[in-house]
């Protein structure tokens, strides 16, 4: 049985907790349903009403991840956590991007919980999963690379990464995802993480995601949580 580990980083980051949602037998619609679209629009408006005019650094979920990034040497705000990028986009008047129903629903939960969420096609990963410090030989193909950028962008040594047994799945904890395990219309199984670093309720966010997945994409979900008391969990 595969496992998720945070052993490598928990001593330096004792507030880190991650809920892993494993969803199977999925059928992922190419676009969001009317119900999901309505929930996303309401969440965007709620975000603007709550935080309009505030500094991003005053938002607790953003502040927690900025502190975590500084903990391994990232001080530039050009490297933003996934939740900070979503909140910044919405506060600037933009909408959550439309990718597919699964990505759209977990972006909704990220916005409403102010937690970082990410997802990989489980059939495109290998072996155990881990949040750990980067190592010599780690590889990463940036899913978000611009047309004029080289997507081959291995992590810097000492950076916190999310990885499987073969390569890095996400750089800088939750900054950018690897293209090789991206969720698509062909995806039938996913491993989705809800991550906290001192702010937010990962179990509540994971349960919300699970309900939305079963409603929008079918299938079934199970949830396990890793934290200081249990840094390795089987899934």
- Both tokens of 182, joined, read 């991206």
What is the tens place of the pLDDT at every residue in 107-129?
999 999 999 999 999 999 999 99
The pLDDT of residue 73 is: 78
What is the tens place of the pLDDT at every residue in 85-98?
999 999 999 999 99
Check whether 74 has a pLDDT greater than 80. Answer: no
10 Å Cβ neighbour count for 151? 14
Q: What percent of the chain has pLDDT over 90?
A: 91
Residue 147 — very low, low, confident or very high, per pLDDT cuts 50/70/90? confident
Q: Give the Cα separation of 130 and 6 in Å (integer).
A: 6
Check whether 76 has a pLDDT greater than 90. Answer: no
Angstrom distances, CA of residue 143 to CA of 43, 85, 182? 26, 16, 8
Number of folded domains in the chain? 1
On average, the pLDDT of the chain sits at: 95
Pairing of strands 129-133, 3-5: parallel
CATH of residue 74: 3.50.40.10
Query: Helices H, strands E: what count in the chain?
Result: 6, 10
Check whether 78 has a pLDDT greater than 70. Answer: no
The pLDDT of residue 118 is: 97
With residue 49 as reference, give the H or E element that holds it.
helix 34-51
φ, ψ (nearest 5 deg) of residue 230:
-145, 80
Residues of the domain holding 223: 3-234
Mean pLDDT lowest among 33-42, 75-84, 161-170 = 75-84
């Amino acid at each position: 049985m595969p496992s998720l580990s945070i052993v490598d980083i928990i001593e330096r980051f004792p507030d880190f907790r991650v809920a892993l949602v494993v969803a199977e037998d999925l059928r992922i619609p190419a676009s969001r349903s009317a119900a999901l679209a309505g929930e996303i629009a309401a969440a965007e408006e709620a975000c603007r009403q709550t935080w309009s005019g505030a500094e991003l650094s005053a938002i607790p979920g953003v502040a927690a991840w900025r502190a975590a990034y500084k903990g391994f040497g990232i001080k530039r705000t050009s490297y933003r956590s996934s939740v900070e990028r979503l909140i910044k986009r919405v506060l600037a008047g933009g909408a959550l991007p439309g990718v597919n129903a699964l990505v759209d629903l977990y972006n909704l939960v990220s916005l409403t919980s102010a937690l970082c969420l990410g997802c990989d096609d489980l059939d495109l990963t290998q072996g155990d999963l881990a949040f750990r410090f980067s190592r010599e030989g780690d590889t990463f193909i940036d899913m978000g690379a611009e047309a004029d950028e080289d997507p081959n962008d291995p992590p810097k040594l000492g950076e916190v990464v999310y990885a499987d047994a073969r390569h890095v799945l996400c750089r800088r904890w939750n900054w950018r995802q690897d293209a090789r395990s991206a969720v698509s219309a062909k995806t039938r199984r996913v491993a989705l993480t809800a991550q906290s670093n001192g702010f937010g309720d990962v179990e509540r966010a994971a349960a919300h995601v699970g309900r939305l997945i079963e409603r929008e994409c079918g299938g079934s979900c199970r949830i396990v949580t890793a934290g200081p008391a249990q840094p390795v969990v089987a899934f």
